[in-house]
C-alpha cells in the first residue's frame, strides 16, 4: 500500500515521455515488435526507453500506475495484457498466490548476475526461490530529521511520540507504513495479524495524533526541504533527494528495525510478448542502464555492477542508499496478509483517522 514513490520531475520531462509512448523512435517505429510495460509513475528514465527501442527495434508501449492496488485489478481482470510489470513485494506474493505470474527463464536474462545476492535473498521473503521476480529498486523506511530543529540523538521510533515536537512531525498517509512505526517500536512484526498487537498500535497512533502536523505522502519530502517540520517518516530514496536540497537533513533507520521494500520486474501469465519481456528485463539489469535509472529516480539500485559505476564516492558509499543489510537485522518486507488482513488493517486505520 505504498504510494507516491516517483520523484517529481518537470512538466517537460513528462511531456517527453508521452511523446515517446505515442511515437516510438529509431528502428522500433518500423519493426512491428513491441513490449507492453506497466510501471510506477516517474519510475524510469525516459531516455532508457528510447535507447532500448533504438538498440533492439522493439517498441515500448508504456503505461503507469500510482499504487499497487490500482495496478492489481487491471492485471487480474485480464482486460489489459501487459508483458512486464513492476509491483512491490507483498503484491508480488499476492499475484503468485493467485496464479497471475509466470516463472522467469533465468537463462534468457544473463544480466541478472549483476543483481547483488543480498537483495535476491531479501526477495525470498515474498518470492521463495526467486522464481517469479527480479529486483529493480529497493529501499527502507526511516526517519528524516532536521538536525537544526531536534535535540539529542534520533535513533528510535519513540521520538515520534515526543511532545516537544508537537506540530513538527510528519507521518505517512499509508496504512501499512503508519502501523509499521508503532509495531516495530514495540518489537512486533510489521506483518502481525495478532488482534491485541494491532489494537495496541492503533491506540499508540491515536495517542500520537495531536502531535502530528500532517499525514502526507510526497509532501514529506517538500515540507522537510522547506524546514516546515522537524521529523518525518520517509522512504530512503526520497531522503537522498532531500539531502541534496537541504544539507541540514539526516536519515536514520531506527534501532528497533523497519521496512525494507523491493519493487521487482515480473512477467504476467497472459503476457503476449514473453521473449521481448525477457529482453526488456535483461536490458534493465545492464549496469549502465541501471545506473542511468538510479541517477534519474534516486531510489537505490540492487545492481552491484551499476553501483560500481557511480562516480560520486559519497553516493556510491552512502549508508542511506546502500546500507549494509547485515547490520540491519530487524528489517522486514511487507507480506500479503490476505483479504482478512487487508480488512483488519484498513478498519483499524479508519479508527485512527476518525479520531
Q: Can you list the pairs that 118-126 forms with residues at least 24 positions away whose Cβ atoms lie under 8 Å?
A: 118/325, 118/326, 119/262, 119/302, 122/260, 122/262, 122/325, 122/331, 122/333, 123/89, 123/262, 123/264, 125/89, 125/332, 125/333, 125/335, 126/89, 126/90, 126/92, 126/93, 126/262, 126/333, 126/335, 126/336
Mean pLDDT, residues 79-86 taken together: 94
The C-alpha cell of 142 is what?
A: 526511516
- pTM (two decimals): 0.85
Locus of grid cell 542502464: 289
**pLDDT at 17 exceeding the cut of 80:** no
Report percent pLDDT > 90 for the chain. Answer: 79
| H or E element at residue 54 | helix 46-56
CA atoms of 336 and 332, how far apart (whole Å): 12
pLDDT per position as a tens digit, 118-163 = 999 999 999 999 999 999 999 999 999 999 999 989 999 999 999 9
DSSP H helix total and E strand total for the chain: 15, 10
CATH code of domain 139-259+327-354 = 3.40.190.10
Domains 11-138+262-322 and 139-259+327-354 in one fold: yes
**pLDDT at 235 exceeding the cut of 50:** yes
What is residue 47's predicted lDDT score, i.e. its pLDDT? 98
**pLDDT at 21 exceeding the cut of 50:** no
CATH architecture of the domain 11-138+262-322 equals: 3-Layer(aba) Sandwich (3.40)
Phi, psi torsion values for 104, nearest 5 degrees? -85, 135
Q: How confident is residue 5, by pLDDT bands cut at 50, 70 and 90?
A: low
CA atoms of 18 and 231, how far apart (whole Å): 36
Q: Can you give the residue ranges of every domain in the chain? A: 11-138+262-322, 139-259+327-354
What is residue 337's predicted lDDT score, i.e. its pLDDT? 96
- Please say whether the beta carbons of 237 and 300 come within 8 A: yes
**pLDDT at 18 exceeding the cut of 60:** no
- Please say whether the beta carbons of 115 and 304 come within 8 A: yes
Least confident of 14-23, 123-132, 146-155, 335-344: 14-23
Amino acid at each position: 500500500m505504498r504510494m507516491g514513490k516517483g520523484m517529481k520531475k518537470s512538466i517537460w520531462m513528462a511531456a517527453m515521455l508521452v511523446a515517446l509512448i505515442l511515437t516510438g523512435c529509431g528502428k522500433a517505429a518500423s519493426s512491428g515488435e513491441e513490449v507492453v510495460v506497466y510501471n510506477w509513475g516517474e519510475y524510469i528514465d525516459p531516455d532508457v526507453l528510447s535507447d532500448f527501442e533504438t538498440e533492439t527495434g522493439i517498441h515500448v508501449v508504456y503505461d503507469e500506475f500510482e499504487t499497487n492496488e490500482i495496478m492489481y485489478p487491471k492485471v487480474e481482470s485480464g482486460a489489459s495484457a501487459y508483458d512486464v510489470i513492476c509491483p512491490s513485494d507483498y503484491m508480488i506474493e499476492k499475484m503468485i498466490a493467485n496464479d497471475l505470474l509466470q516463472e522467469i527463464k533465468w537463462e534468457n536474462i544473463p544480466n541478472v548476475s549483476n543483481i547483488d545476492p543480498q537483495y535476491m535473498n531479501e526477495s525470498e521473503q515474498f518470492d521463495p526461490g526467486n522464481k517469479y521476480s527480479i529486483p529493480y529498486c529497493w529501499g527502507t523506511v526511516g526517519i528524516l530529521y532536521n538536525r537544526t530543529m531536534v535535540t539529542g540523538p534520533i535513533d528510535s521510533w519513540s521520538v515520534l511520540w515526543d511532545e516537544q515536537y508537537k506540530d513538527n512531525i510528519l507521518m505517512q498517509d499509508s496504512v501499512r507504513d503508519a502501523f509499521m512505526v508503532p509495531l516495530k517500536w514495540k518489537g512486533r512484526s510489521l506483518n502481525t495479524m495478532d488482534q491485541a498487537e494491532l489494537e495496541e498500535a492503533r491506540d499508540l497512533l491515536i495517542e500520537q495524533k495531536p502531535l502530528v502536523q500532517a499525514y502526507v505522502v510526497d509532501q514529506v519530502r517538500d515540507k522537510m526541504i522547506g524546514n516546515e517540520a522537524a521529523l518525518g517518516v520517509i522512504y530512503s530514496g526520497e531522503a537522498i533527494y532531500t539531502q541534496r536540497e537541504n544539507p541540514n537533513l539526516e536519515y536514520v533507520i531506527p534501532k528497533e528495525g523497519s521496512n525494507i521494500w523491493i519493487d521487482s520486474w515480473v512477467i504476467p501469465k497472459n503476457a503476449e510478448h514473453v521473449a521481448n519481456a525477457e529482453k526488456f528485463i535483461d536490458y534493465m539489469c545492464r549496469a549502465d542502464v541501471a545506473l542511468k535509472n538510479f541517477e534519474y529516480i534516486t531510489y537505490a539500485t540492487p545492481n552491484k555492477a551499476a553501483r560500481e559505476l557511480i562516480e560520486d564516492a559519497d553516493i556510491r558509499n552512502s549508508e542511506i542508499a546502500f546500507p549494509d543489510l547485515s547490520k540491519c537485522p530487524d528489517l522486514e518486507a511487507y507480506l500479503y496478509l490476505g483479504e482478512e488482513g487487508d480488512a483488519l488493517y484498513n478498519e483499524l486505520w479508519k479508527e485512527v483517522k476518525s479520531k
